């Protein structure tokens, strides 16, 4: 439920209407209020007795107004955070809940430091994940996470597997191990015997490189599927015993556009199939050398129903990864 819906906008420009943040126990002297301003902008105010604004600088945001405000009637200082982008209500609501959780249960004396720490983390996340992933993007990420967890993690171990996931860092390859590369594509499995190749470079290799195409069938299934949030947590659980690998994984998730601040529970997904292909010299593909120099950024549909001679089983892929793993 949106807490701001029950707050009327004040009549006077200088006023702020509010309701108390409930169901969370805060340190003595600390309270949080949902607020609405004269122009119907929404936000929160975090009240506390301590004021160290002369020593602490609050982070700045493009979409949030963040600042100190003295409330004369309460005789308290607050950090007021106001949303300035109406398209980000869902994300902002989750940010507010996250901030409240970080404050709850701690000492009153370091509330301001915790506020700053969480705001800095939000700023880092927002710099990468400004918008919720589309269904197409969710599907692509789920495919890469499936390959990471079910194949690479088993064969290479947590840290090596995480470092092999190079797609989110801007690499032209989804996964890299030395001169061996893996390109992961998601489709609708048996319902769709093709994939989209997004450029003339995607299946291009040099003589010393080898490339494998992994096609993962993924479909929506509201009854039996898992949300992207649940899938991410499952992958994180698989890395949790290696803190360094988990930290590396979380950074890659952020770079891939995933943020815990968005809610993906409205769509459930199920993995249905894994298929693997060896992209050798004879594999049908468009490469830069086969098109005029005036043409670039070519995308095309690859029909998998005619690629039986290039298909490999999973055991062959695992053996290839193990052979290349040092």
Q: How far apart are CA 185 and CA 197, in angstroms?
A: 9
Token pair of 308, please? 């039986």
**What are the residues facing 290 on neighbouring strands?**
none
Co-location of 292 and 211 in the same domain: yes
Whether 103 and 115 have beta carbons less than 8 Å apart is answered as yes
Token pair of 151, please? 């194949």
Co-location of 139 and 68 in the same domain: no
Q: How confident is the model at residue 326 (pLDDT cuts 50, 70, 90)?
A: very low
Give the residue from 25, 3, 55 showing the smallest Cα distance to 68.
Answer: 55
Check residue 71 and give its pLDDT: 78
Co-location of 158 and 173 in the same domain: yes
State the CB neighbour count (10 A cutoff) for residue 301: 9
Question: Is 90 exceeded by the pLDDT of residue 197?
Answer: yes
Co-location of 81 and 30 in the same domain: yes
Co-location of 70 and 32 in the same domain: yes
Averaged confidence pLDDT in the chain: 88
Check residue 279 and give its pLDDT: 96
Number of domains in the chain: 2
43 vs 106, higher pLDDT:
43
Q: How confident is the model at residue 234 (pLDDT cuts 50, 70, 90)?
A: very high
Co-location of 178 and 69 in the same domain: no
Q: How confident is the model at residue 39 (pLDDT cuts 50, 70, 90)?
A: very high
**What are the residues facing 183 on neighbouring strands?**
213
Distance in Å from the first CA to the final CA of the chain: 52
Check residue 108 and give its pLDDT: 58
Token pair of 94, please? 């989750």
Q: What is the mean pLDDT of residues 236-241?
A: 95
Co-location of 103 and 174 in the same domain: no
Q: Which residues contact 151 (CB under 8 A, 6 or more apart)?
A: 214, 314, 317, 318, 321
Give the tens place of pLDDT for each residue, 173-182: 999 998 999 9
Q: How far apart are CA 118 and CA 120, in angstroms?
A: 5
In sign, the C-alpha dihedral spanning 192, 194, 199, 203 is: positive
Co-location of 43 and 73 in the same domain: yes
51 vs 26, higher pLDDT:
26
Q: How far apart are CA 305 and CA 137, in angstroms?
A: 25
> To which residue do tokens 């594999």 refer?
283
Give the tens place of pLDDT for each residue, 15-32: 899 999 877 778 887 889
Could you say which of 128, 158, 189 is where a domain stops? 128
Q: Name the region of 205 (left: φ>0; alpha: ψ -120 to 50; beta: rest).
A: beta
Co-location of 177 and 259 in the same domain: yes
Co-location of 164 and 78 in the same domain: no
CB burial of 19-52 (b: ≥16 within 10 Å; e: otherwise) equals eebeeeebbeebbbbbbbbeeebbbbbbbbeeee
266 lies in which domain range?
135-324
Could you say which of 100, 128, 156 is where a domain stops? 128
Do β-strands 180-187 and 210-220 pair in parallel, antiparallel, or remain unpaired?
parallel
Could you say which of 128, 148, 166 is where a domain stops? 128
Co-location of 99 and 56 in the same domain: yes
Co-location of 113 and 150 in the same domain: no
């Amino acid at each position: 439920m949106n807490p701001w819906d029950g707050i009327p906008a004040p009549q006077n420009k200088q006023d702020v209407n509010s309701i108390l943040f409930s169901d969370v126990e805060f340190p003595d002297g600390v309270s949080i209020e949902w607020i609405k301003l004269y122009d119907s902008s929404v936000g929160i105010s975090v009240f506390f007795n301590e004021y160290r604004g002369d020593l602490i600088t609050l982070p700045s945001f493009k979409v949030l107004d963040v600042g100190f405000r003295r409330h004369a009637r309460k005789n308290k200082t607050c950090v007021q955070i106001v949303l300035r982008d109406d398209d980000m209500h869902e994300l902002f609501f989750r940010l507010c809940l996250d901030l409240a959780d970080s404050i709850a249960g701690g000492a009153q004396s370091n509330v301001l430091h915790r506020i700053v720490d969480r705001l800095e983390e939000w700023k880092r996340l927002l710099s990468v994940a400004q918008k919720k992933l589309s269904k197409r993007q969710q599907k692509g990420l789920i495919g890469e996470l499936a390959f990471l967890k079910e194949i690479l993690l088993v064969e290479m171990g947590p840290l090596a597997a995480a470092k092999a996931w190079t797609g989110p860092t801007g690499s032209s390859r989804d996964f890299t191990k030395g001169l061996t590369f893996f390109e992961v594509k998601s489709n609708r499995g048996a319902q769709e015997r093709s994939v989209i190749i997004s450029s003339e470079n995607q299946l291009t290799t040099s003589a010393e490189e080898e490339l494998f195409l992994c096609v993962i069938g993924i479909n929506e299934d509201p009854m039996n599927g898992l949300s992207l949030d649940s899938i991410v947590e499952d992958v994180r659980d698989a890395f949790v015993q290696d803190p360094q690998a988990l930290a590396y994984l979380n950074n890659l998730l952020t770079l891939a556009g995933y943020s815990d601040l968005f809610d993906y529970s409205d769509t459930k997904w199920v993995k249905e199939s894994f298929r693997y292909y060896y992209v050798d010299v004879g594999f049908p593909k468009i490469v830069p050398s086969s098109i005029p120099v005036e043409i670039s950024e070519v995308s095309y549909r690859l029909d998998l129903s005619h690629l039986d001679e290039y298909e490999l089983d999973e055991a062959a892929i695992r053996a290839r990864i193990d052979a290349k793993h040092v």
